[in-house]
Chains A and B, each alone.
Chain A
Amino acid sequence: MNYDFTYLAILLSDGNEERSEDSRCYASPVKKKAYSVSNSSMELAADESVILAYWQICDGIMDHRGLKKLKYLGSCTLLKRAYRKASALRPAFDQQVRDQLKILRELEEQNCDSIDRAADAFAGLLSNAAEEIEDPVRRRVLTQMLYHLGRWVYLVDAADDLQEDAKSGNYNPIALRYQLSNGEWTNESRHEFALTLDHSIRMMTTSYELWNFGVWTPILETTLYKGLFQVGKAVLDGTFHRETNRKRRLRNSNE
């Protein structure tokens, strides 16, 4: 289970997840671990996460060569059974994900220099996850939150890849939009970009305030009002990768 699923489950759940039980699982076959009892929103989040992960892995197969491609092919094979089950249960979402990823690929091929247009494809993909929610108010709130979370993730990811893409010549909408050379920010472009991220975060927080997320309130509030800014700033400062690589090295040396 990764944090993709966790966040999607949090957002799609009704905030009353109090029940937990103890059981063994594949990851912990001996010692019993507490787990949250499944409910319909968690089922929805699980199905949609599997579909999202599957198609992103398929995308990764096209994007990579050599050993990395093999890694993606392996993951794809592992996920295939779960994907078949999930896509049979959520055919509309499955189709939407395919369509949006196709749009994204076409925009990349066209070297699209609109960061909004490129981010829209990914943001739309994530906001579709809220379509099956019955309550109309909650559906509107989550659609807007997920759209701007998707937009933010896509843009911050592209910002994080700026220098790598400049070296490899890969498509990067931010480099094209601000006409950056060697993936280096100018003060003006950096400020403009931070502003556009802030507007998306503002859209997320104003949506968030219109629904009661129950037990998830503290984690969502901290993420939306603090965590996103901090990650965005670290990416813009160029310290994000350094920090994560350092943590990875520390983790590896401890293992």
Chain B
Amino acid sequence: MSNPYQVLGVSETATDEEIKKAYRDLARKYHPDNYHDNPLADLAQERMKEINAAYEQITKERSGAANQTRGAYNSYGGGYQQYSTYSSSGSSVLQQVRIAINTGDLSRAEALLANYSDHNAEWNFLRGAVCYRRGWMDEAKRYYQTACQMDPTNSEYRQAADFMEHGAQRGYQPNGVPFGTEVCSSSDMCGRLCCAYLLCNGCGGMPIICC
């Protein structure tokens, strides 16, 4: 295992409090909520395991092997859950779609959905899930909303639609600065830092300001 202090990004002389803070910051960054339906959730989960193991090792070392109770803490671990393979419509085809999404086989999920003629609430929800994983955020939101309208009692559909409305802004943000195009400060914080243009259309196209 790599050096646990390096994993947490602290020096070996860091105080217990500094170590705890570093651990909490990292846990916040890789928290499952930030990787909801994210195609890279498995990588975040791996990182979280490393962080948990590093923190556990340091606390054990510092408290002495004989007194491990001091190292007890509530580690973040699970929560990177995938879709349940249970399909509320009871359709075996739609269950297969859920399995395909969970294994990352989006082409299979799309093919199964394309051949399924009953565009019920579950179908719309799963279509939204495929769109989200492909990065088609606008269509994902619309499919999730349709699923909610067709079955307003389903909490899974409602959560997905709610995530599209508020989820992007709720995630990790360094230093607690608001996350969002509509809420960002256009002057003070960023304005003074902005400096360079990134020309993305080769010949005088779209400039990106970077800070």
Contact = CB atoms under 8 A, between A and B. Distances in A.
B207 A60 contact: no
Interface stretch (B75-83, B108-116, B162-170): B162-170
Nearest to B173: A225
A226 B172 CA distance: 13
A148 B167 CA distance: 17
B148 to A, nearest CB: 16
B71 interface: no
A-B complex: 4 closest residue pairs judged by Cβ atoms: A229-B184, A116-B136, A56-B202, A157-B206
A120 B135 contact: yes
B190 A229 contact: yes
Given A196-B138, A199-B164, A222-B211, A209 B203 contact: no
Given A116-B131, A206-B171, A230-B191, A153 B200 contact: yes
Interface residues of B, number: 55
Interface of A: 2-4, 6-7, 52-53, 56-57, 60, 71-72, 75, 114-117, 120, 123, 137, 140-141, 144, 147-148, 151, 153, 156-157, 160, 177, 191-192, 194-203, 205-207, 209-210, 219, 221-223, 225-234, 236-237, 239, 244
18 contacts: A3-B208, A6-B198, A56-B201, A57-B202, A60-B202, A116-B135, A116-B138, A140-B40, A140-B43, A151-B135, A197-B181, A198-B180, A199-B167, A203-B38, A206-B44, A225-B174, A229-B180, A244-B207
Contacts of A195: 137, 141, 164-165, 168
A226 B196 contact: no
Interface string B4-47: 00000000000000000000000001100011001110011001
Nearest to A115: B138
B118 interface: no
A222 B193 contact: yes
A4 B169 contact: no
B55 to A, nearest CB: 18
B135 A148 contact: yes
Contacts of A156: 206, 208
Given A3-B199, A56-B202, A194 B182 contact: yes
A228 B168 contact: no
Given A56-B201, A156-B208, A194-B182, 4 more contacts: A3-B210, A137-B43, A206-B171, A230-B211
A229 B194 CA distance: 12
Contacts of A6: 198
